[in-house]
Amino acid sequence: MMEELLSTQEELNHQSLQTKWRLMVLISQCALLILFLPIPLVTPKPIDRLIHIDATSFQFTPAEIKVNQGDRVTIEFVSTDVVHGISIDGYDFQLTSDPGQPVTGTFVASWPGMFRFRCSVACGNLHPFMIGKLWVGPNLILIRGVLLGILAVVAAIFSLKKSKVLKTGKTS
Amino acid sequence: MNRLDLTRTRWTNFLIRNRWPQFLIRAITLAGFIFTILAGLLGSVVGSHNFAIIFVWIAWWTALKLFFIPFGGRSWCSICPIPMPGEWIQNGGILQPRGKNFGLGKRWPKFLRGRWLQAGGFMLVGLFGVITLTSPSVTSIVLLIILLLAFVLALVFERRSFCNYLCPIGGFTGLYAQAAPVEVRVKNPEICSTHAQKSCYEACPWGVYPLALKSSANCGLCMECLRVCPSDNLAVNLRPWGSDLGPETKHSLDEAFLGLVMVSSALMDSAIFLGPWGQLKMAAYAIGTGSWFLFAGLFLVIALMLVPGIYTLAVWIANKLGEQKMNLRKALAHQSQVLVPLGLTAWIAFTISFALAKFSYVLPVVSDPFGWGWNLLGTVAKPWVGQSTLTSMLLQVIVLALGQFWSSRVAIKISGSLKQALPMIVFSAMTMVGMLWLLIG
Ligand code: SF4
Ligand SMILES: [Cu+2]
């Protein structure tokens, strides 16, 4: 009698352990999908854009720029006080402007996402934090991040539900 | 209980128990600390060319958050140079346990106990953060003050009063050490109960009695207890992450406050250092001006009212939804455990975004620590401008999602029901979305 009980008990534990593993695999698959599933987007027809950026210690104006993927972006960059530069993370793009001397440069916004641009010439104390943001197309990684967060909550709930079964299985 | 006791393996046991390995590392960190102070005072005033700035704010601060704490809890405190001189004087020697004490050995005043001052100190660092982070001499002066303060306090008060009640870094490491995979614990409680001398307590610089240890928050991993225990009854365990967080552990209001200050600081630092808002940066920098006071006001409102307010609301709702009601004070303390994985992962994500981009500055300043144009190691090169690439952003997203998972799990574990855990889950989700927006939005 006792032994029989024990073996069903073990069976139960084994089963819930298996479902737990299955669940974990499922959740990690979902996570990978959320992170890497390519999303076909209708990108608007690429256009040429001219954007004027002022640099003043320690602020770009405008510091937030939105373009569409594929756009040919020409930046007209001018410093208003000391020598400043601009370089965009992830893009091979760099300009340096002497005070009052506008310079221009062009790049094609082929990578989607959010990219910080920074001052590239040491210009003073706050130089390392002289930052702006460029968005190319919709910011998919932000959306993916939020979805992944939701999945994380679901995973947390399920991971504990199963272990409760395990626990009661053990103690009862 | 899945634990791996490091004292059971011969070579790890030797490394932990023998005083020399630890002393050697401490000697190096102390020398490095003093060198950093000198570099900051004498070297180049350009932050990114000065060893002090790069080593303290990029190398050390990053290593603390990405390595020491997540893998070793308070392991930094085990080799920290700050309390060393004072402690050596207290002990009347370098390689010996606490014994006959030099110094006045006064007890730390009751009303100053707890984590309040540490949290306050951390907030002060935040309020003056932009200037400390950019000015080598200010960094040096802060380090010097900390070193002297720890020294003087060691002469007046007993044990590591500075570490226990004042050090902001200690507040930070102690809080998150609860989530870390290392602990010092008693092997067999029965042996302790028959040992009247309590040599371990006598020897502990932190004033901790190992038998009573429920959480690693106050244990500095100095290993003194296991060096003096006559019965070899202390273990240094590797354990699963988050072991100290659960329904049974006791928590107090000051821990909640500390946890909230850390969460607010992670959000504020992300906004200041990684955001596109130049006005904010300049206001934070221009100490003493009207705009700085505006900034300080904003900082304090967020850290003392907004975030704690939302937290209190969440705890209050959770408490209403529970079957057994606690009083609000108790509930605020109890739920603060959710803030541990939340804050830790928020800081890690911030660090990935902030420091990895700047890591290229490290090698050049090793070669030219004062910024005087030396090139000792031939590693001076123009550092590439930091790039937060797609990989770094993906990493940040994953770390924040892990934090959401972890803090939700803690919330569910310490609550009576899923329903009761929901408000806390929502609180951590709000924080996480805030971080996501600031870091990659
Ligand atoms: S509490 Fe502070 S001073 Fe004390 S050991 Fe830890 S980091 Fe160092
Ligand atoms: Cu600049």
User: Residue-wise pLDDT tens for chain B (441 aa)?
Assistant: 688 888 888 888 888 888 888 899 999 999 889 888 888 888 777 777 788 888 888 888 888 999 999 999 999 999 999 998 888 888 877 777 787 667 777 788 888 888 899 999 999 888 888 888 888 888 899 999 999 999 999 888 888 889 999 999 999 999 999 999 999 998 888 888 888 888 888 889 898 998 888 888 989 999 989 888 888 889 899 999 988 888 888 888 999 999 999 999 999 999 999 999 988 999 999 888 899 999 999 999 999 999 999 999 999 999 888 877 788 899 999 999 999 999 999 999 999 888 766 665 666 676 777 777 776 666 665 545 444 467 788 889 999 999 999 999 999 999 888 889 999 999 999 999 999 999 998
Residue of A nearest to B419 (CA): A157
In a domain, B48, yes or no: yes
Q: Where does the pLDDT of residue A170 fall: very low under 50, low under 70, confident under 90, or very high at 90 and above? A: very low
Tally of domains in chain B: 2
10 Å Cβ neighbour count for A137? 19
Q: Which residue has the tokens 């552990």?
A: B249
For residue B441, the distance in angstroms to the closest alpha carbon of chain A comes to 6
**Does residue B269 share a domain with residue B148?**
no
> A48 CA to middle of ligand 2, Å?
27
**Does residue A87 share a domain with residue A11?**
no
In a domain, B394, yes or no: yes
* Chain B from 392 to 411: CB within 8 A of any A CB: 393-394, 397-398, 400-402, 404-406, 408-409
A141 touches chain B (CB under 8 A): yes
> B170 CA to middle of ligand 1, Å?
5
Atom 4, ligand 1: residue with shortest CA distance: B163
Residue span of the structural domain in which A98 resides: 48-137
In a domain, B75, yes or no: yes
**Does residue A147 share a domain with residue A117?**
no
**Does residue B268 share a domain with residue B412?**
yes
Question: Residue A169 has what pLDDT?
Answer: 40
Q: Which residues of B touch A151 (CB under 8 A)?
A: 401
Question: Residue A167 has what pLDDT?
Answer: 46
Domain final residue pick, B167, B193, B209? B167
**Does residue A119 share a domain with residue A90?**
yes
Tally of domains in chain A: 2
The region of weakest confidence among A49-53, A91-95, B78-82, B354-358 is B354-358
Q: Which residues of A touch B398 (CB under 8 A)?
A: 35, 148
**Does residue A146 share a domain with residue A86?**
no
Residue span of the structural domain in which B386 resides: 259-439
**Does residue A129 share a domain with residue A97?**
yes
How confident is the model over A21-49, as a mean pLDDT? 86
In a domain, B214, yes or no: no
B275 touches chain A (CB under 8 A): yes
In a domain, B243, yes or no: no
Q: Where does the pLDDT of residue A6 fall: very low under 50, low under 70, confident under 90, or very high at 90 and above? A: low
**Does residue A85 share a domain with residue A53?**
yes
B164: Cβ contacts below 8 Å, ≥ 6 apart? B108, B170, B206, B207, B218
Q: What is the DSSP string of A25-80?
A: HHHHHHHHHHHH------PPPP-EEEEEEEEETTEEES-EEEE-TT-EEEEEEEES
The CA-based dihedral angle spanning residues A15, A16, A20, A21, taken in that order and rounded to the nearest 10 degrees:
-20
Question: Residue B388 has what pLDDT?
Answer: 46
**Does residue B268 share a domain with residue B158?**
no
Residue of B nearest to A32 (CA): B398
Q: What is the pLDDT of residues A97-136, one digit of tens each?
A: 999 899 999 999 888 889 999 998 888 888 888 999 999 9
**Does residue A156 share a domain with residue A75?**
no
Nearest Cα residue to B79 out of B157, B160, B24: B24
Between CA B177 and CA B258 the distance in angstroms is: 13
What ligand has the least distance to the C-alpha of B159?
A: 1
**Does residue B314 share a domain with residue B415?**
yes
In a domain, B393, yes or no: yes
**Does residue B284 share a domain with residue B156?**
no
Q: If DSSP codes are grouped into helix, strand and coil, which group holds residue A103?
A: strand
Strand partners, B184: B236
Question: Residue A145 has what pLDDT?
Answer: 93
For residue B392, the distance in angstroms to the closest alpha carbon of chain A comes to 11
Question: Residue B338 has what pLDDT?
Answer: 94
In a domain, B245, yes or no: no
Between CA B306 and CA B376 the distance in angstroms is: 49
* Cβ of B83 less than 6 Å from ligand 1: yes
CATH number at residue A118: 2.60.40.420
Question: Is pLDDT of A166 > 70?
Answer: no
Question: Residue A3 has what pLDDT?
Answer: 56
Atom 6, ligand 1: residue with shortest CA distance: B77
Q: Which of A89, A142, A157 shows the shortest C-beta gap to B441?
A: A142
ipTM: 0.85
CA B234 to chain centre: 24
Domain final residue pick, B151, B167, B183? B167
In a domain, B420, yes or no: yes
**Does residue A127 share a domain with residue A104?**
yes
Question: Residue B403 has what pLDDT?
Answer: 95
Domain final residue pick, B133, B152, B167? B167
**Does residue A117 share a domain with residue A154?**
no
Between CA A81 and CA A78 the distance in angstroms is: 9
* Chain B from 19 to 78: CB within 8 A of any A CB: 46-48
Q: Which of A59, A63, A145 shows the shortest C-beta gap to B397?
A: A145
B134 touches chain A (CB under 8 A): yes
Select the more confidently predicted residue: B419 or A43: B419
**Does residue B418 share a domain with residue B308?**
yes
**Does residue A153 share a domain with residue A93?**
no
**Does residue B269 share a domain with residue B132?**
no
**Does residue B403 share a domain with residue B263?**
yes
Q: What is the 3-state secondary structure (H, E, C) of B279-297?
A: HHHHHHHCCCCHHHHHHHH
> A60 CA to middle of ligand 2, Å?
9
Question: Residue B333 has what pLDDT?
Answer: 92
